[in-house]
């Protein structure tokens, strides 16, 4: 999720803490808790430092990685408890518990998105995303804004949780239920086809969802509607992928970090090879999970010369040098 949503859930945790009468009467403990929930709800995304130091490719590889993993669930609270205890002595475990809850809520919300996270490392290095929420969900923003308004208007923490947090949880549960129903409908719409992987991806609203079906014949992409059913917009034939000379792919794998990271990250990987006039080839990579209408929102490109050497690679389309394709 975006950091605004994470911050709002940090405030919700603070409201939850304030339902404890003894805590509500201790100003020092209150300050400790608000720092703990604020830091815990943001800490897993401190991996933004990777982007500042290493750039986009290392960030893609490591974002929502180890900082969201099981060891980090315990490391972040311990770090914050040690540091904040210097300012709030005697509240180590109070800080630790509420920091832990902040981290767990952060990771849990990230698991609900398509981008996902490597949350279960070291038991699994798989990036897990449950496709229930968009990265930015304005409905959750609205409930968060409502909660802030109610608190500022004098409502008790219990009332804030009842009127703002409870509807947020019901909204998330409703989206999860709709997603399960749509997944079942999609599978029923492709009888006789072996489906290797299926993604029903959230969009704005509850009715329309994006769809990627990885079947034996190819990738079927389109829309899935709660009321109208399936609309397949395009099918990508896997045969084009298999027809690519494996030496191009092997050379790209060996020489291009962008190629290695992108093929590791992409959930529904589509690769097209375009021969160039100079005897080389341009490999266009796309993750179909991030297709927006007719545009591929998440792409990478690798250019190899006639000898198989990588001469250019990049994420996205903006920095690609214009090259003449071989006429066929």
Using the CB atoms, write b or e for 94-119: b if 16+ within 10 Å: bbbbbbbbbbbbbbebbbbbbbbbbb
pLDDT band at 228 (very low <50, low <70, confident <90, very high): confident
**Whole-model pTM?**
0.90
pLDDT tens string 268-301: 999 999 999 888 999 999 999 988 777 788 899 9
pLDDT tens string 91-142: 999 999 999 999 999 999 999 999 989 999 999 989 999 999 999 999 999 9
């Amino acid at each position: 999720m975006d950091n605004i949503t994470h911050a709002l859930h940090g405030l919700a945790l603070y409201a939850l803490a304030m339902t404890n009468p003894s805590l509500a009467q201790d100003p020092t403990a209150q300050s400790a808790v608000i720092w703990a929930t604020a830091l815990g709800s943001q800490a897993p995304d401190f991996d933004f430092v990777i982007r500042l130091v290493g750039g986009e490719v290392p960030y893609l590889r490591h974002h929502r990685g180890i900082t969201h993993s099981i060891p980090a669930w315990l490391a972040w609270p311990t770090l914050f408890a040690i540091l904040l205890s210097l300012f709030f002595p005697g509240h180590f475990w109070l800080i630790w518990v509420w920091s832990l809850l902040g981290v767990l809520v952060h990771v849990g919300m990230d698991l609900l998105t398509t981008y996902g996270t490597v949350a279960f490392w070291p038991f699994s290095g798989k990036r897990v995303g449950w496709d229930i929420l968009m990265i930015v969900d304005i409905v959750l923003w609205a409930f968060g804004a409502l909660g802030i308004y109610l608190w500022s208007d004098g409502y008790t923490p219990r009332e804030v949780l009842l009127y703002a947090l409870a509807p947020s949880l019901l909204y998330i549960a409703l989206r999860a239920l709709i997603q399960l129903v749509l997944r079942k409908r999609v599978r029923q719409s492709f009888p006789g086809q072996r489906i290797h992987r299926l993604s029903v991806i959230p969009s704005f609203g509850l009715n329309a969802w994006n769809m990627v079906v990885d079947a034996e014949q190819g990738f079927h992409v389109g829309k899935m509607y709660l009321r109208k059913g399936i609309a397949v917009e395009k099918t990508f034939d896997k045969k084009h992928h298999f027809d690519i000379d494996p030496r191009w792919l092997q050379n790209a794998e060996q020489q291009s970090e962008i190629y290695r990271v992108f093929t590791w990250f992409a959930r529904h990987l589509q690769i097209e090879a375009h021969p160039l006039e100079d005897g080389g080839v341009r490999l266009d990579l796309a993750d179909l999970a991030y297709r927006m209408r007719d545009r591929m929102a998440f792409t990478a490109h690798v250019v190899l010369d006639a000898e198989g050497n990588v001469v250019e690679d990049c994420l996205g389309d903006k920095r690609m040098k214009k090259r003449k394709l071989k006429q066929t």
